[in-house]
Chains A and B, each alone.
Chain A
Amino acid sequence: MSRGGMLGRKVLFSLLTIFVVLVINFVLFRVLPGDPVRAVIGRNVKLSAEAQQTLREQFGLDKPIFPDQFLDTLGQWARGNLGISWSLRRPVAEILAAKLWNTLLLIGLGQVLSIVLGILLGLLAGWKRKTPFDVFALTFSLIAWATPTFWLGIILLAAGSTWLGLPTGGLVSPENVGKPLYTVLPDLARHLVLPTLTLTILYLGEYMLIMRSSILEVLSEDYILTAKAKGMTPWQVLWKHALKNAMLPIVTLIALNLGFTVSGAIYIETVFSYDGLGKLFQTALVKQDYPLLQGAFLLLAVSVIAANLLADVLYVLLDPRVKPT
């Protein structure tokens, strides 16, 4: 099959997976306890039975769950309408979109830094195996990888705010809230230092360890000996022959991590009171805001599936041996 055909099939499968997620998402929030109407009007407000019935009809809750409610919901989702948040009283899609950029900024920065540093560290550690540098990098990575996210966040928060005078939380200082982000870049950067550092340290360990073992495996291959016998310098061998082969497992890891980082930011955003998706999810959970949670689940699922699709596509581009099936 051609590569284009393969791509089409992968996209089709991804769409199919998303559909399954939609169904699960729909069912899940219908079997959860609680009455939507009561949740909307609040627990202690007294409302006549007729008024409640009118609300039910307005929300379409009087119709049977399948097929009427299901098809209706799918239609709304397809148009980008994810419902109204119970706690924030605003459209879910609008809320998610607003927070998504904040999270992408934080995660993107943390991921790029940890990927670049992790790969470099792993590469050097594997290449200079058994040297003090390797031992140091290995120890550091193992500790970093094993450290709980919230714990490292709290420690860095305490240390950074005490000794370096960095802000303890938020996206920007209170006086800058509401202004467009690009107008307050220095302030934004100061606020990003600690959460980004936490994220970088946490993910760096994993990338470093995988890269190190990958490069060690590749360096023992016969084609590396061939490259040396050709008269290449160690750097040329590393750069032209080892790196691309060693990068293959990393690509999968990067793509999968990207899919999960949206949820992984919950701890960090909570610790640093960072106004992103993670904090929003936490609030939605605490307040039992079902529509918001539903939207959040959907976003998570779609980003994980999209990241998987990206990994598949990248793999085919990088490794000619992966047959487009």
Chain B
Amino acid sequence: MSEPPLLRVRHLTTEFLLADAGQRARAVEDVSFDVYPGQTVGLVGESGCGKTTVLMSILRLLPANAEIRGQVFFRGIDLLTLTERQMRERRWKDISIVFQGAMNALNPVMRVGEQIREAITLHGLMPPNEAEVRVGELLELVGIPKERGAQYPFQYSGGMRQRAMIAMALACSPGLLFADEPTTALDVMVQAQILELLQGIQRKLGLAIVLVTHDLGVVAEMCDTVVVMYSGKVVEYGPVDVIFNAPQHPYTQNLLQAFPDLARPGTVLACIPGAPPRLTDLPPGCRFAPRCPARMQWCDAEVPILREVQPAHFAACHLVKDV
């Protein structure tokens, strides 16, 4: 790609300082990836692997006990070096986010339209009366009749709330949208509608999306690039077709086997035995080694680095050879 990336994350490391005796939980370690304009990047991995923490670190929305290192360039500016005030001015205008809890992400005692309007006027993008019109347009864009902006979130269904959330996320025309498991709390039919809506909006507005999910079906359908994370680290990173057809890391392979395949119904799903390591007590070598079917002796001793298997396809495993 000739265009410069919209978001360039380099060596992002996030640690939480724990209350007891200066302990640190390393939730994210040395994460790097790029997001190009109009592209969709999928962040996948099981619960607790640090996907959401990556997004929150980029937006700098973590609690005060979090320590973030590395670089996060958005349109060439390192967000981690900005002052809190500068960062605040960029939130929602550059990067907005749709949370997984569609139920609770909207303020229950505030009208939906007002919550969207607030995002626009907060950044002084347009006078209140124009913002009012814009709220109507945004609601219609996501398929909600604009009169319903006068209603409260409890009067919406789960799917409508997530639509309203998406409308709100688009309020300041951001270049990049974070979608943190946007369909988790919804039923299958509504999930499909929301994903379709996201795809349609992406085509129409040309914005880039970082999609956090553990649903590989969603990744296959939506994403251009996939970042597979395990225990806070990137284990494999590459174009979606390569990741699905020729996964190199045993974790990615296991993850794909643990997912039902429509083409081969009736096959028994594999599962990955064990659980991810505790963040305060990480294994010295490869973090996946204790659960890895292809584990070798030196996997426990040496941390595998992310190697380029083929152009634009990286994996962090001792089995993988450089190109």
Q: Is B109 an interface residue (CB 8 A)?
A: yes
Residues of A within 8 A of B165 (CB): 226
Per the CB 8 Å criterion, the residue count for chain B at the interface is 27
Q: How far is the CB of A135 from chain B (nearest CB, A)?
A: 15
Contact A221 B92 (CB under 8 A): no
Q: Is A225 an interface residue (CB 8 A)?
A: yes
Q: Is A190 an interface residue (CB 8 A)?
A: no
Q: Is B77 an interface residue (CB 8 A)?
A: no
Q: A231-B122, A241-B110, A321-B154 are in contact. Are A226 and B105 (CB under 8 A)?
A: yes
| CB neighbors of B among A277-325 (8 A) | 318-321
- A228 to B118 alpha-carbon distance, docked (Å): 12
Stretch at the interface among B95-103, B140-148, B288-296, B299-307: B95-103
Residues of B within 8 A of A318 (CB): 109
Residues of B within 8 A of A221 (CB): 104
Stretch at the interface among B83-91, B209-217, B258-266: B83-91
Q: Is A175 an interface residue (CB 8 A)?
A: no
Q: Which of A226, A227, A233, A320 has the most CB of B within 10 A?
A: A226
Q: A230-B118, A230-B119 are in contact. Are A223 and B93 (CB under 8 A)?
A: no
Q: Is A263 an interface residue (CB 8 A)?
A: no
Residues of B within 8 A of A78 (CB): none
Q: Is A229 an interface residue (CB 8 A)?
A: yes
Q: Is B106 an interface residue (CB 8 A)?
A: yes
Other-chain residue from A225, A236, A321 in contact with B108 (beta carbon distance below 8 A): A321
Main secondary structure of the interface of A (DSSP, over half): helix
Q: Please list the 7 inter-chain residue pairs (A to B) with the smallest Cβ-Cβ separation, ordered nearest first.
A: A231-B91, A222-B104, A223-B107, A320-B152, A222-B105, A222-B101, A230-B92
Other-chain residue from A226, A236, A240 in contact with B99 (beta carbon distance below 8 A): A226
Q: How far is the CB of B252 from chain A (nearest CB, A)?
A: 30
Q: A221-B104, A230-B122 are in contact. Are A320 and B93 (CB under 8 A)?
A: no
Seen from chain A, the residues whose Cβ lies within 8 Å of a Cβ on chain B are 221-223, 225-233, 236, 240-241, 244-245, 318-321
Q: List 25 A-B contacts (CB under 8 A).
A: A222-B99, A222-B101, A222-B104, A223-B104, A223-B105, A223-B108, A225-B99, A226-B105, A226-B107, A226-B165, A228-B61, A229-B92, A230-B96, A230-B118, A230-B122, A231-B88, A231-B89, A231-B91, A231-B122, A236-B122, A245-B107, A319-B109, A320-B108, A320-B154, A321-B108
- A231 to B125 alpha-carbon distance, docked (Å): 13
- A64 to B61 alpha-carbon distance, docked (Å): 76
Contact B88 A240 (CB under 8 A): no
Q: How far is the CB of B148 from chain A (nearest CB, A)?
A: 14
Other-chain residue from A223, A230, A320 in contact with B91 (beta carbon distance below 8 A): A230
Q: How far is the CB of B95 from chain A (nearest CB, A)?
A: 9
Residues of B within 8 A of A228 (CB): 61, 91
- A244 to B108 alpha-carbon distance, docked (Å): 10
Other-chain residue from B89, B91, B93, B107 in contact with A241 (beta carbon distance below 8 A): B107
Q: Is B59 an interface residue (CB 8 A)?
A: yes
Contact B107 A229 (CB under 8 A): no
Known: A228-B91, A231-B90, A244-B109. 7 other contacts (CB 8 A): A222-B99, A222-B104, A223-B106, A226-B168, A229-B59, A230-B119, A319-B109
- A241 to B106 alpha-carbon distance, docked (Å): 10
Contact A320 B109 (CB under 8 A): yes
**Cβ contacts B149-180/A at 8 Å (1 or 0 each):** 00010100000000001001000000000000
- A221 to B101 alpha-carbon distance, docked (Å): 10
Residues of A within 8 A of B101 (CB): 222
Question: In the complex, which residue of chain B has the Cβ closest to the Cβ of A229?
Answer: B97
Q: How far is the CB of B246 from chain A (nearest CB, A)?
A: 37
- A221 to B104 alpha-carbon distance, docked (Å): 7
Residues of B within 8 A of A320 (CB): 108-109, 152, 154
Q: Is B123 an interface residue (CB 8 A)?
A: yes
Other-chain residue from B89, B96, B107, B154 in contact with A227 (beta carbon distance below 8 A): B107
Q: How far is the CB of A189 from chain B (nearest CB, A)?
A: 39
- A241 to B105 alpha-carbon distance, docked (Å): 12
- A319 to B97 alpha-carbon distance, docked (Å): 27
Contact A231 B123 (CB under 8 A): yes
- A221 to B122 alpha-carbon distance, docked (Å): 21
Other-chain residue from A223, A231, A236, A240 in contact with B92 (beta carbon distance below 8 A): A231
**Cβ contacts B52-67/A at 8 Å (1 or 0 each):** 0000000101000000
- A231 to B120 alpha-carbon distance, docked (Å): 11
Q: A223-B104, A228-B61 are in contact. Are A240 and B109 (CB under 8 A)?
A: no
Q: How far is the CB of A225 from chain B (nearest CB, A)?
A: 7
Q: How far is the CB of A50 from chain B (nearest CB, A)?
A: 71
- A320 to B107 alpha-carbon distance, docked (Å): 11
Q: How far is the CB of A127 from chain B (nearest CB, A)?
A: 12
Contact B91 A229 (CB under 8 A): yes
Residues of B within 8 A of A227 (CB): 107
Residues of A within 8 A of B118 (CB): 230, 240
Residues of B within 8 A of A236 (CB): 122
